[in-house]
Homo-oligomer: A and B are copies of this chain.
Amino acid sequence: MEIFAERTQLALDLVGVFFFAVTGALLAARKGFDVVASALLAGMTGLGGGVVRDVIIGVRPAALEHPVYLAPVLLAVGVVYLYYPHVSRFRRTLLLFDAAGLGLFCVTGTAKALAADVPAVSAALLGVTTAVGGGLLRDVVAREVPSLFRYDDIYALPAMVGAAATAVLWRLDALSVWTGVAASVVTFTLRALALRYSWRAPLAYRRQAPDG
């Protein structure tokens, strides 16, 4: 079963890989890694989420079959090598590219899981996995506090919205390139607004009154 045409899926994927790979290369530069480590971290960040999704679904990862997936990784490493931003803009640059990757991958990840006949709820969760997996891998291997768990601003929630929207659109037979890209843009916008206005979700436990 096909959700997006193969070339569309590939094109959206490559753009998403590029966005995430930039965040990996930026972090590598920030941490003083060399250019080879930068390529490895960029590759893990850009391809990690999709590989984990494909391995869980049980299909051979697209990045393995099509070595063209390495192109956006190398491009990202080169761009960061040449234009590593001034430290004061580093964090915002990384977070915006991360948000762009999040927006694309929650939609394409859900679509790919639906195409593999996974139940819609699980497909949406695999979309979230695709979207947050690469960044989590990046932060864990580079020994950073995962963005996923920082309390400053919501991170996974926008991806959940985008993935759920994709699954619902598909159920309504209304998932196309245009509605998919719209879901991506909504996700990106929600995440960017969360960053700008420090939107937060409730804590993991009910705060108790000082006397309670």
Contacts and interface: CB of A to CB of B under 8 A. Distances in A.
Contact of A60 (B25, B57, B60): B57
A33 B202 CA distance: 9
A82 interface: yes
Interface size grouping (class) on chain A: 35 or more
Nearest to A205: B84
Count this chain's copies in the assembly: 3
A143 to B, nearest CB: 7
A32 B67 contact: no
Given A67-B121, A119-B65, A151 B33 contact: yes
7 contacts: A32-B203, A34-B204, A37-B149, A67-B121, A77-B204, A141-B148, A143-B145
Given A37-B148, A64-B118, 8 more contacts: A29-B204, A29-B205, A35-B201, A35-B203, A37-B201, A64-B122, A67-B119, A140-B140
